[in-house]
Amino acid sequence: MNFTPLGKRVLVQRVEEQTTTSTGIIIPDNAKEKPQNGKVVAISDKVKDKGLIKEGDTVLFGKYSGTEITLDDKEYLVMNIDDILGVLK
């Protein structure tokens, strides 16, 4: 995959959610919500210049943020830097 976001955008891959609870109950696919955190895969030059986030960071974003795209059979989100709420450490 060779994708570079433009403007003030980043490419994020959602982090997979757990399929079982701490007590061992399996959560069915139709009951799961999409996770609101992910790993930054690519960032635009404008975002790199600011130094706020970097590739590999795990970020938290709003529930309805970004545009879903598929590259090489993997799902990603392209989102504006303003849609990212923070970096998880």
Question: pLDDT, tens digit, for every residue of 19-63?
Answer: 666 677 766 655 556 768 999 999 999 988 888 899 999 999 988
Three-class SS state of 57? coil
- Rounded to two decimals, the pTM is 0.79
| CA distances from residue 47 to 40, 61, 74, 81, 84 in whole angstroms, order as listed | 12, 16, 23, 7, 12
Q: How many C-beta neighbours within 10 Å does residue 60 have?
A: 14
The residue that leads in pLDDT, 17 or 7, is 7
Q: Among 1-10, 12-21, 26-35, 69-78, where is mean pLDDT lowest?
A: 26-35
- DSSP labels, 63-85: TT-SEEEEETTEEEEEEEGGGEE
Can you give the residue ranges of every domain in the chain? 9-17+25-88
Domain boundaries 9-17+25-88, corresponding CATH code: 2.30.33.40
Is 70 exceeded by the pLDDT of residue 17?
no
